[in-house]
Amino acid sequence: MQSHPDRIILSADAMRRADRRTIDEFGLASFTLMETAARGVADEIERRMADLAERAVLVLAGPGNNGGDGLAVARLLFQRGADVFVLYHSGAEGASAETQLNLELLRRIPESEERMLTLHRWDAAADLQTQIDTARGAMAPWGPFDLAVDALLGIGVTGALREPIASMAEFALSARSIAAIDVPTGLDTDTGERQGAGGMHADFTVTMAATKPCHWFGAGPKSCGDVTVVDIGLPAHLMEAAMQEPGSARVAGAATVARFLRSASRGEHKFAVGQAAVVAGSNRYSGALILASKAAARVGAGYVVCASTERAAAALDAQLPEVVALSFRATESGTLPAAAAAPILAEFGSCRACLVGPGLGYAKDDGARDEIRGLVGQLVREMQAPLVIDADGLNALDRPEALRAVLERQGATVLTPHPGEFGRLVEASGQRVPTDPAHDRPTWLASTWARRFGVVLVLKGSPTVIAGPDGTTFVAPDTSRALATAGSGDVLAGMITGLIAQGLDPLEAAVAAVHLGLDAATDYAAEHSAASCQATDLIERIATALHRY
């Protein structure tokens, strides 16, 4: 069990609204919030640097409230013993009242014989090269800085870096380490993508109240370094309200996953602890059937039954005799026929969860596609148990009528697409995956389309995002190179199915399965090269990962 705690992810807009409501509804002064934030940043810097005495710190302060945070941090670090050079954007002089106040407080600090404090104004209206040369000259006596604090832009700024911010940011590069306040300059808060050339790569980032999407996605994790969250006193109910906004999410910690897993059935016989069905495989892809079935059994399903072609079922029986297989004569394309749906429904009617899709062979030819569309379509319409649809099962939902059947299902549905499959699902609905920065972030996409499809959506990626039909969204706490291997998706789908069969809520089952897979991958990578991991290696470690919870 990896020791990650629960964490919250708020979009830039959600964070700003929570901030604003705290000020408007509770009368908490904006300056107080800024001071609390600055104290948290200064505490983290002091913790990392141990002794601030004789440390040289460069603070880059932009024209907005992030710059105001930086000015307050500069004051606090100076008071705690550091030598501080502040390069501030002239726009700070006309910024918010609290930013102006922090600038004035710095100006009023008396000279000290023991420590150095320099305030250098960057005139945004003056010649750029002149400002660069002047700032460089002012810093020359300081030598290399021990730390640069990036307080230039913060959250919510989009588009390529413009001058003079781009040139100001370059002064941080000579420092021995870089700390960012909220978000490193040049990083999109909601997507984690770099905004053109330039920008910061921080050694650590201190963010306020909650993590942001950029701390988890895209180039963000590498650009942000270690991320620390500072509690600035926003009321809990406002944070919960912000969590309901599209794009916001929760990172389930180990304790939350353990709570989800505790709801599994504790029955004493195989049917009481969950009967799981797997409809998967084809003559060519028997491996997908084997992996998914093994994973469902290994995660704790008491009884696993499968349906596949005769050849795939024979391969399964040779490797996993504990699983009961219902076999069918393959079509000329080597796939399950559409006619198999009726006997599957009759045979598997008592199952508590059913997986359909891995290795069905949808892409073989037109004949195979028609057969599998028919098979999957009938299972979607008539299967009463919760249905997990993966891989070729998702590919078979490539027409509007197939998606309508998903929307009309009475039982719960879990879809587990990778980005390409997700894009095809959206296009089959008559829409397109948006590409504008406000709407292409994984948390927004997952929560929005889980609601529209009325499903649990497991959007596989780095990291994976899991969203429920009410929009509740979780993000995996990490990713692993060991998961980038053929068959890992079959293992994940099998685990989700096995956990649902044991009585877990489908959303909680999906979250728990993602965590178990990550734990198994992390365990493998601790002993071997992550690049050598195979899907069977993950299955072998499920039991150990599960035991920890």
**DSSP codes of every residue in 15-34:** HHHHHHHHHHHH---HHHHH
User: Is residue 64 a known part of a binding site?
Assistant: no
Instruction: List, in order, residues 6 or more apart from 286 with CB less than 8 Å away.
Output: 308, 311, 312, 315, 316, 359
More confident residue, 411 or 50: 411
188-206 residue pLDDT tens: 998 888 877 777 899 999 9
Q: Would you state the pLDDT for residue 366?
A: 82
Answer yes or no: is 182 a known binding residue.
Answer: yes
- Going by C-alpha positions, the residue among 17, 23, 546 that lies closest to residue 262 is 546
Are residue 145 and residue 259 in the same domain, yes or no? no
7, 254 Cβ separation under 8 angstroms? no
Range in 45-54, 281-290, 490-499, 501-510 with the lowest mean pLDDT? 45-54
Residue 38 in marked binding region = no
Judged against a pLDDT cut of 50, whether residue 53 lies above it is answered with yes
Write the CATH number for 480.
Answer: 3.40.1190.20
Instruction: Classify residue 326: in a domain, yes or no.
Output: no
Residue 188 annotated as part of some ligand binding site: no
231 is in an annotated binding site: no
Say if residue 111 is in the same domain as residue 227: yes
For the cut 70, the answer to whether the pLDDT of residue 4 exceeds it is no
- pLDDT category at 395 given cuts 50, 70, 90 is very high
Whether the pLDDT of residue 458 is over 80: the answer is yes
Per residue in 324-358, pLDDT (tens digit) is 999 999 999 999 999 999 999 999 988 999 999 99
- Report, as an integer, the average pLDDT of 133-162: 92
pTM of the model: 0.91
Q: Is 288 annotated as a binding residue?
A: yes
In terms of domains, do 440 and 487 share one?
yes
pLDDT in tens, 506-515: 999 999 999 9
498 marked as part of a ligand binding site: no
Q: Is 395 annotated as a binding residue?
A: no
Q: What is the pLDDT of residue 1?
A: 42
Is residue 216 pLDDT above 90, yes or no?
yes
| Residues 230 and 259 grouped into a single domain | no
Residues 260 and 197 occupy one common structural domain: no
Tell me the pLDDT of the chain averaged across its residues: 93
Residue 433 or 254, more confident? 254
| Residue 203 annotated as binding site | no
Residue 290, marked binder: no
Residue 95 annotated as part of some ligand binding site: no
- Report whether 62 belongs to an annotated binding site: no
Q: What is the pLDDT of residue 267?
A: 59
Is 425:401 a contact under the CB 8 Å cutoff? Answer: no
Residue 6 in marked binding region: no
Helix (H) or strand (E) holding 472: none
More confident residue, 240 or 342: 342
Consult the annotation and say whether 423 binds a ligand.
no
List CB contacts of 58: < 8 A, sequence separation 6 or more: 84, 85, 87, 139, 142, 145, 147, 148, 149, 171, 172, 175
Q: Is 500 annotated as a binding residue?
A: no
436 labeled binding residue? no
Does the annotation flag 522 for ligand binding?
A: no
Question: Could you tell me if 128 and 18 lie in one domain?
Answer: yes
Range of the domain at 36: 7-245
Tell whether residue 155 is among the known ligand binding residues.
yes
Residue 138 banded pLDDT, cuts 50, 70, 90: very high
Q: How far is CA 269 from CA 273, 294, 296, in A?
A: 7, 19, 16
Q: 162 pLDDT band (50/70/90 cuts)?
A: very high
In a domain, 281, yes or no: no
- Whether 102 has a binding-site annotation, put simply, is no
- Mean local confidence (pLDDT), 255-271: 76
Structural domain ending residue among the three candidates 181, 212, 245: 245
Is 60 exceeded by the pLDDT of residue 312?
yes
Q: Does some domain include residue 212?
A: yes
Question: Do 139 and 43 belong together in one domain?
Answer: yes
Q: Are residues 235 and 361 in the same domain?
A: no
**CATH code of the domain in which 154 resides:** 3.40.50.10260
**Average pLDDT, stretch 252-266?**
86
Report the candidate in 476, 474, 468 with the shortest Cα–Cα distance to residue 452: 468
Q: State yes or no: pLDDT of 438 exceeds 60.
A: no
Q: Which residues contact 345 (CB under 8 A, 6 or more apart)?
A: 378, 379, 382, 383
Q: How far apart are CA 155 and CA 303, in angstroms?
A: 50
User: Do residues 185 and 233 both lie within one domain?
Assistant: yes
The Cα 329–Cα 327 span in angstroms is: 7
Is 143 within any annotated ligand binding site? no
Per the structure block, which two tokens stand in for 421? 């499959």
